Amino acid sequence: MSDDYQDTIDMILEAATFGELNTAMKDLHMKTRPLSAAVLVDLVVARAIGEELRDQLRRGGTKALVVEVPDGGWAEPIGDAIKSLIGDLAYVIARSSIPRGNDLNDGMLPKKLREGRVAVGVAAQPDRTLPPLLLSLAEVRVAVVAPDAEMIIEVIRKSQGGRIPKEASTLMPEMLSFDEITALIDRNGNAVETVRRIRAAIERKTGTNGSRNDSRPLPRLEDAIEYGDARTWALSLRDDIADMRKGLIGWEDIDRGCVLHGPPGTGKTLLARMLGEACGVPVVVSSIAELFANSSGYLNDVIKALRKTFDEARAKAPSILFLDEINALPNIDTVGDRNKDYWAPVIFDFYTLLDGAMSVRDGVIVIGATNRIEDIHPALLRPGRLERAIHVGAPDAAGVERIMRHHLGGDLADGDLENLAIQNVARGATGAVVMEQVRAARRLARRAGRPMVLADLEAQIVEEETRTPEELRRSAIHESGHVIAGLAVGSTLDIVSIAMSGGNGGCARLSMPTGTLVTRHQLEGVVMSLLGGRAAEQLLMGEPSQGAGGATDSDLARSTGMVASMEASLGLGHSLLFRALPEDAWQLLREPDFRRRVEKLLDELYQRTIDILHARRPALEAVVEALLKRRFLTGEEVESIIESSESVVENRESMPAQGGQRQPVATG
């Protein structure tokens, strides 16, 4: 045992008072800590407390100091380091958590202050953990910033030595706690292994909070093209957080929240985790609906559960709090007067927690998710709160292919997945569905005792064809009609398919580029694309089938609903009168006058669609033949078929080209 240790042991043995024993024990504690802890603490303290402040403290020029540390584990070691920096003059109160019983007072503090000592409070959440007296006296407040990659490299170099791998500079250790870092950098380890362990710990932290039923590593945000606008938002947030860490911008300059909306399984939770990994911050996953369901239903319990969730995110801040099923939060405007009194405290508490978590420095980024955006109260989307709603829909063909590749890992590396991806798009498969398909294919191969082959995956996706050739032809004509009419009015085509898929005989995925405000011309275009299927059947087969109608999501139902909403809701028909929400406008069809107007416009649009298809008949027929041969075509393939089909598509109905959103006109 070194002399150094012996001194401390002697101090312990010879301690005459409890105070002396306490000091000696602390001394021993410090000396037996891994070397990395001492190095780390020295580095962060040197960065946080500059020369000038240090001198001031030593001279007693500053009477009280508050030091905010990244997590509770830092409090004691930083407190010790500051004590040895200032010397005997210091009276340090280090709090690693909120004191039990919430009594924040420190009995000795007034006396120590009277004696002229410099009071130093060290805590992760000073305002909630340090004595109010100290807080009110503190002239100086400093923040110890969590160590970055550069600092970790320095600690490894000093405590372990050896060659440090280059990729160490890309580590994002900010989310690791003091205890985790010091446990990972042990004295006997080597640098390469240590960097690998730190990276794995960071990945575990970003990827394993909450339940993930998918053991693959997370996809990279950069690659996840299927997320569209949501990916753009996430990438820019990632860059902002990096700038904030460099001190270029403040927390208040950062877009701290959004609501992701779209069907279940489209990867909203996954996106939050990917963002966490990209930013190097932990992700807390919770669901408002589950939270309500799991508490007894008493208001107090609901509020407690909410607070616990926010507390967890704040304790890990900077962090991402993902709140799924956010529509379960009752809407104060629609709960009714009696329920209003009941729910008001919960709703009020929720907004207080939300505003609190998002506003503090290095706070919480909150991502809400819902598949019912229409139920979200506008107060949640106010500036400073979740602000924007971003749609996450079923992926397009390129997106599905990327998701398939992700879940396949290295399997089927030579397999051509394009056709399977297109079939998945045709059935509107989400990322979760694709994951299940790959899993089922893998199971099939495992049971057969051989590596996976493309047929295993096909078996999950391709449905057996039961239609007669005549029925298939009609289906090809119907879908081609949607395609030709859609392209003529300025839509773009992702894919068209006549394969049986999810109970549907075919589909054309078209989208109309629109601004955020859709015009009459554009909506008429969407209706004409919808009517294109029936019009093509009439044109090429002499009479249409009932395939365009019959269901509430059929071509005819959607066209009728759209024209009705133009007339009664959007001010894009004959009248400016607002009479219903767009989705309710069809209910006015009971009124004879209204019905006549809607019917007249529908007839007009149908006739214009027939005219368009008539003028493009060679192109229409060429697409039908290609579809019958191949079953699926991509937008690009269709473009080239049309080009080579002599019918040079002239006189396209001119549509104002606008950037921005796209109006989906996927048709079945």
Q: Return residues touching ligand ADP (CB under 6 A).
A: 212, 214, 219, 224, 226, 264-270, 369, 403, 406, 431-432, 435
Q: Which amino acid is at 145?
A: V
CA-closest candidate to residue 33, choices 86, 93, 73, 91: 73
Nearer Cβ to ligand ADP (288/655)? 288
Please name the amino acid found at residue 456: D
Q: Which of 424, 663, 427, 429 is nearest to 558 (CA)?
A: 663
Question: With contact defined as beta carbons under 8 Å apart, do 373 and 261 qualify?
Answer: yes
Which uninterrupted H or E stretch holds 516? Answer: none
Long-range contacts formed by 302-308: CB under 8 A, 24+ apart: 302/346, 303/345, 303/346, 303/349, 306/346, 306/349, 306/350, 306/353, 307/349, 307/353
Identify which of residues 17 and 211 has a Cβ nearer to ligand ADP in the complex. 211
Nearer to ligand ADP, 268 or 316 (CB): 268
Q: How far is the CB of 381 from ligand ADP (least distance, A)?
A: 19
Minimum distance, C-beta of residue 67 to ligand ADP, in the bound complex (Å)? 39
Give the shortest CB-275-to-ligand ADP separation in angstroms. 12
Please, what is the minimum distance in Å from the beta carbon of residue 288 to ligand ADP?
13
CB of 432 to ligand ADP, least distance (A): 3
CB atoms within 10 A of CB 428: 18
Which of 325, 401, 479, 537 is an active site residue? 479
Q: Whose Cβ is closer to ligand ADP: residue 436's or residue 621's?
A: 436
- What six digits make up the tokens of 344? 């008001």
Nearest approach in angstroms of CB 237 to ligand ADP is 17
Contacts of 658 (CB under 8 A, 6+ apart): 513, 514, 515
Which residue minimizes CB distance to ligand ADP? 431
CB of 329 to ligand ADP, least distance (A): 17
Is residue 479 part of the annotated active site? The answer reads yes
CB of 268 to ligand ADP, least distance (A): 3
The 118-123 sheet, strands edge to edge = 90-95, 118-123, 64-68, 140-143
CB atoms within 10 A of CB 242: 15
> Residue 326: which H helix or E strand, with range?
none
Residue 344 to residue 329: CA distance in whole angstroms:
11
**Residue 390: φ, ψ to 5°:** -120, 130
Strands (DSSP E) contained in 338-450 are 364-370, 388-391
In the bound state with ligand ADP, the residue whose beta carbon lies nearer, of 283 and 508, is 283
How is residue 38 written in tokens? 């001492």
Distances (CA, A) of 164 to 178, 293, 522: 21, 50, 59
- Tell the smallest beta-carbon distance from residue 267 to ligand ADP (Å): 2
Which of 93/408 has CB closer to ligand ADP?
A: 408
For ligand ADP, the closer of residues 291 and 435 by Cβ is 435
- For ligand ADP, the closer CB: 264 or 384: 264
**Which residues are within 8 A (CB) of 39 and not within 5 positions of it... i.e. 6 or more apart?**
154, 155, 158, 159
Cα separations (Å) of 93 from 82, 160, 294? 11, 32, 39
Beta carbon nearer to ligand ADP, 432 or 441? 432
b/e per residue, 114-130, with b = 16+ CB within 10 A? Answer: eeebbbbbbbbbbeebb
The CA distance from 455 to 142, in Å, is 62
Known catalytic residues are: 479
